Structure 1
């Protein structure tokens, strides 16, 4: 099989100074992409800033024969997001790939979580992905080509104690990804999301130390690279990835219960088993399909 290449493609990878983002940037560059390495350079809570981490990754890429430029702007501000995309345009003339990877943690049990701690995490993960994608979107549409990879999380898909802010942002990215897939389809813009499990500075307090070697970032990046490639067939999907395992995660609907008469509380109670049944499952591709069973009931 031929090697997958990204020659002629320009990629922006946010949060690429460490961990997953760094590995994504290195892999894309090694396969021919020109890369904007974005990283604010703060700690994992978002505090501080330094141009050092992004520049170090750029120097590593250049040492290995690749092309890259650093960008230290903040994804969570409109001005920062625009500057990140402008860096790609100024350095390489276009943008083809956006990997939204930047993130911070402000873990706290819900009863102790402050508004600031909630907003700060939403701002980087969810708002930041929106802002950077929004800045790139006109250029992707104009060129009739784009690949967007968003970073969700199992914590968002299934919930996790002490991460109400993080989980909210990460589940929000699922809806964001699916909507971009619909709106980008006619312009050959594909958007997908990953829900990674990897040992990084973001997760070192959450994952068992014994798994550090088995959950390396190099086990996640191949999926990101595939989703960023021109040959990827799918859009609007979410995949969990880690430790050498990849699986599609999907939103599905059970058979449900319906009646022509107006529902009552008692009818809901008496048919709760049917309402809660999870077989057979149906995976809908859009809101129109999901409305199908209801429309059929209303018109039959």
Structure 2
């Protein structure tokens, strides 16, 4: 198989001063992309700002013969998002790739979270995806091509105690990306979500108080990490991330997991479920209770790619169960 190249393409990576974003930017540049390295330079909890992190990555790319520019705007504002995209347009006149990776962590019990722990998290994860994504999408649409990758989290898809704020922001990437994938299909734009797993500076923000939750503590204590040694690092996430934003990849409207060298699609699907008796009379609560096992059993399932696909799946289930001919 021929090497995958990004020659002639322009990529934006947010949060590229450290960790995952840094490795994405370096590998994109090594494979020929021109890269906007965006990083506000704040701490793992989103405090402070510094131009040092982004500049260091740009210097590393240039020292290796690549092309890159630094951008230190906050992606958590519309003005900052526009600035990030303008850096690409002013330097190279186009945008082909956006990896929305910037973020930070502020852990705490759900019941105790303050606005200072909720709003900035949603701003840097969810709103930033709009603030950078919208101008990047417009630039991609103008060229009839684009690849967008949004950073989700297993904390949202599967759950992590004391991270409701973070999980809410990361879980929102699923809905955002799915709709971008649908709208973008008319203009050559693909969109996916990646759930990366890596030890990073965000680990320092993890308050171990979550061990107060017995089921969660037991899950952590019983977890088998025997195949993860040396594999929970940014470099193990980069191959899947970059494939998903390459010309070679035709997948869109998907969610993918990268964990300890295992790469897998994560599916959102609907069980066949139970179909209420024919007619316009809704079932009772008791009807739901008596059929709840059938409602909950995965069994045969469908994977709707639009809200309307679910109607087709419902009709199929109704005919299978003999409710409608």
Normalising by structure 1, report the TM-score: 0.96
Indicate the residue corresponding to 2:123 in structure 1.
123
C-alpha deviation, 1:293, in angstroms:
3.6
Equivalent residue number for residue 249 of structure 1: 266
Q: Cα distance 1:49–1:69, how it changes in 2: closer, same or farther (>3 A)?
A: same
Partner residue of 1:233 out of 250, 260, 264 = 250
SS at match of 2:47: coil
Query: Which consecutive aligned stretches of 4+ in structure 1 deviate over 4 angstroms post-superposition?
Result: 204-212, 295-300
Structure 1 residue 295: deviation in Å? Answer: 5.0
Q: Which moved more, 1:19-28 or 1:133-142?
A: 133-142
Aligned residue for 2:230? 213
Per-residue CA shift, 1:109-136, capped at 9, x if unaligned? Answer: 1111112211110100111111101111
Q: Quickly say closer, same or farther: Cα 1:85–1:205, change in 2 above 3 A.
A: closer
Deviation digits for residues 80-135 of structure 1, max 9, x if unmatched?
00000000011111111000000010110111111221111010011111110111
Whether the 8 Å CA contact 1:199–1:212 is kept in 2: the answer is no
> How many correspondences in the alignment?
300
What residue ranges of structure 2 are gaps of 5+ in the alignment? 207-219
Report what 1:266 is aligned to. 286
Alpha-carbon offset, residue 205 of structure 1: 6.1
> Residues 283 and 162 (structure 1 numbering): CA distance in 2 closer, same or farther, change over 3 Å?
same
Q: Which consecutive residues of structure 1, in runs of 5 or more, have no partner in the other structure?
A: none
Secondary structure of 1:187's match? coil
Query: How far apart are 1:299 and its partner, in Å?
Result: 7.0
Aligned to 2:214: none
Query: Does structure 2 conserve the Cα–Cα contact (< 8 Å) formed by 1:39 and 1:54?
Result: yes
Q: What SS class does the counterpart of residue 193 from structure 2 fall into?
A: strand
Alpha-carbon offset, residue 214 of structure 1: 2.2
Task: Report the CA distance between 1:168 and its aligned residue.
Answer: 0.5
When the two chains are superposed, the root-mean-square deviation of aligned CA atoms in Å is: 1.8
Q: Displacement of 1:151 after TM fit?
A: 0.2
Which residue among 295, 301, 312 is the counterpart of 1:275? 295
Query: SS state of the match for residue 248, structure 2?
Result: coil
The 5 A counterparts of 1:1-300 are 1-203=1-203, 213-259=230-276, 260=278, 261-295=281-315, 297=318
Are the equivalent residues in 1 in contact too, given 2:4–2:248 (CA < 8 A)? no
Q: 1:299 to 1:132 in 2, by over 3 A?
A: farther
Q: Which deviates further from its counterpart, 203-212 or 35-44?
A: 203-212
Q: Deviations over 1:153-204 (max 9, x none)?
A: 0001112100001101111001111110000001110001100111111135
Instruction: Output the CA distance in 2 between the equivalents of 1:141 and 1:221.
Output: 26
